[in-house]
Structure 1
Amino acid sequence: MICALGAAVCFGTASVLQAVAARAAEPGTGSGVDTALLLRALRQWRYLAGLGLDGVGFVLQIVALRHIPIYAVGAALAASLAVTAVVSARLLGTRLSRSEWAAVAVVCAGLLMLGLASGEEGSGEGSLELKLGLLAVAGLVLLVGAVAGGLPDRPRALVLGLAAGTGFGVVEVSVRLIDGPSLTNPALYALLLGGGAGFLLLTSALQRGSVTAATAGLVLGETIGPAAVGVIWLGDRPREGLAWLAVTGFAVAVAGALALARFGEPPAEEPGATS
């Protein structure tokens, strides 16, 4: 759980840097699958610093997924929005209202309940059908991103955020299904495709439209689906007699994170600011 929370700190801080970089990049084609936009964002130090933090967070996420249920890791990663809110307040001068500080406290309370209720990771290894299904979902994420590029800004941001979250959710589940560097395991390719699609679509979502909507979609996409897969197919279970506490903690943590979705929004660039 400590590794999951460490990953949340890394991802939450990275999101501030990446959102600013994505907004500062030159507008792209408007497509959800805009690789040129990602390349332009990579020229900015903020985006590169964010990627570095994402790399550290991913390593911590893998460690966490190897020891605790997916639903606990997913809720902890959703709590990265609380980290984003606090980092924005400290480094960027963003003001948090009393209700938003309360939402941060709600996230922490939810995670505490989850930490107390979570058992060990399930023993399920996952069938070949599940691994192929993950690969298909990762491909679908890219297709949805391409179609979403033609939507108006607000629904576009929500759909892209939800698709990006689904891509990252594929990564969460795939980590549990990879035992070693086997090139014949479909879960390996699902991980690579899902992670790449997630980054691509999230960058496009942050570049234009409501980042609050995109962030809310991201939280939903990377928590609910993977948690269900872990419980139904991989045998993730809470401690004996504490299922109610695990469900409550998961719901509370995700609800608190959604209340903080606006902190995916980058601050306005000051005149004369450099990238």
Structure 2
Amino acid sequence: MIVAYGIANLLQSVAATRTTLHHTFDPALLFRLVGHRTYLVGLGCQVLGFSLAFLARRDLPLFLVQASVAAGLGVTALLGVLVLKWRLPAAEVALLVLLLVGITALVLAAKPAPSRQLGTAGVVGLVVALGVIGGLGSLAVRLRGAPGSVALGALAGLAFSAAAVAARPLASAYSFDAFLRDPLLYLLITHSIVGQLLLGMAMQRGSTTAAVAAMDAAGALPAAIVGLLLLGDKIWPGREWLAATGFAITLASVLALTRYAEPQHQHAGRPVPSGRVVPRPAERGLPGGAPVAPIPRR
């Protein structure tokens, strides 16, 4: 899952910088992105990562799975070094080691167990959350530059967090028929689409690193809290300190990695009358000139 998300991060960020900048909460952005072969390959990797994460949530607590999703940024950084010849500072090497330590601590602390069911109140809560995130997204999309990146990235993180909360009990469905009839399935799909749209718009704005930090902080913590309080997520007795330390180390390492990631340029394409985007050939990145910046996706 971590490897799949790491590849998806890299490829989708390339496609986003090659797409016309959007200033409205417009689903048409997703259709534009799908027109890029790079985005489609990245989306395939993301679907694979999502499927593996869904299966993991059947038995593993959300604090472990969500932290692991965020850890995909570490894979993105390594791919940047191997494929795009990014320079790897000593500080980034140390952060990657810390990231591994944090995930290891979470694995040792997590106690596998099936999820409790959310119930009607939980389903209603996810519906309300969807409306709130969508409403705030329609306002945040008007922001430009770093504030827009932070706001949209945080909202994307909340949407993916809500999707994770829906996925945990849904993964324990006793039959395929029950799986299809469960309203959590459709809330999971809707939250994921909204999160993907918000993420695409966040990737187009000035500060990718700020968007990454906001999304990771907003996405991992709420799902972990809901899992422990409502879904029956468990920690091995006496290892609560290990879980708390591992979660803190993992999240801090991911947020710090955004600081050392390849610098994000302003949106690389310049609109032309036909609506196409012409990349600036002088920018660093993949062939064709599009700049690259890592964005973890959920």
Whether these two folds match at TM > 0.5 is yes
- The aligned amino acid for 1:21 is A
| Residues 1:23 and 2:17 are matched in the alignment | yes
Residues 138, 194 of structure 1: 8 Å contact kept: yes
Q: Which moved more, 1:45-54 or 1:177-186?
A: 177-186
C-alpha displacement of 1:139: 2.4
| Residues 1:202 and 2:163 are matched in the alignment | no
Residues 18, 46 of structure 1: 8 Å contact kept: yes
C-alpha displacement of 1:118: 0.7
Residue in structure 2 matched with residue 97 of structure 1 by the alignment: 89
- The aligned amino acid for 2:159 is G
- The aligned amino acid for 2:189 is L
Residue in structure 1 matched with residue 255 of structure 2 by the alignment: 258
The 2-side partners of 1:49 and 1:13 are apart by 9
C-alpha displacement of 1:166: 0.9
Query: Map of 1:194-273 to 2, 5 A cutoff?
Result: 194-262=191-259, 263=261, 271=281, 273=288
Larger radius of gyration: 2
The 2-side partners of 1:47 and 1:181 are apart by 32
| Residues 1:10 and 2:7 are matched in the alignment | no
- The aligned amino acid for 1:212 is T
Residues 81, 264 of structure 1: 8 Å contact kept: no
Q: Which moved more, 1:8-17 or 1:115-124?
A: 115-124
C-alpha displacement of 1:274: 7.5
| Residues 1:110 and 2:105 are matched in the alignment | no
| Residues 1:176 and 2:168 are matched in the alignment | yes
The 2-side partners of 1:245 and 1:131 are apart by 31
- The aligned amino acid for 1:193 is T
C-alpha displacement of 1:121: 3.0
Cα distance 1:152–1:65, how it changes in 2: closer, same or farther (>3 A)? Answer: same
The 2-side partners of 1:25 and 1:61 are apart by 28
C-alpha displacement of 1:265: 5.9
CA deviation profile, 1:78-113 (whole Å, cap 9, x unmatched): 111111111111111111211111111111000011
C-alpha displacement of 1:160: 0.6
Equivalent pairs, count: 267
C-alpha displacement of 1:152: 3.0
C-alpha displacement of 1:190: 1.6
The 2-side partners of 1:224 and 1:201 are apart by 19
Residue in structure 2 matched with residue 3 of structure 1 by the alignment: none
Residue in structure 2 matched with residue 4 of structure 1 by the alignment: none
The 2-side partners of 1:106 and 1:122 are apart by 29
Answer 1 or 2: which has greater helix percent. 1
> Normalising by the residue count of structure 2, what TM-score does the alignment of the two structures yield?
0.84
C-alpha displacement of 1:181: 4.6
> Normalising by the residue count of structure 1, what TM-score does the alignment of the two structures yield?
0.91
Cα distance 1:264–1:250, how it changes in 2: closer, same or farther (>3 A)? Answer: farther
Residues 19, 265 of structure 1: 8 Å contact kept: no
- For structure 2, list consecutive stretches of 5 or more residues without a partner in the other structure: 269-278, 282-286, 291-298
Residue in structure 2 matched with residue 50 of structure 1 by the alignment: 42
The 2-side partners of 1:257 and 1:81 are apart by 7
CA RMSD between the two structures:
1.9
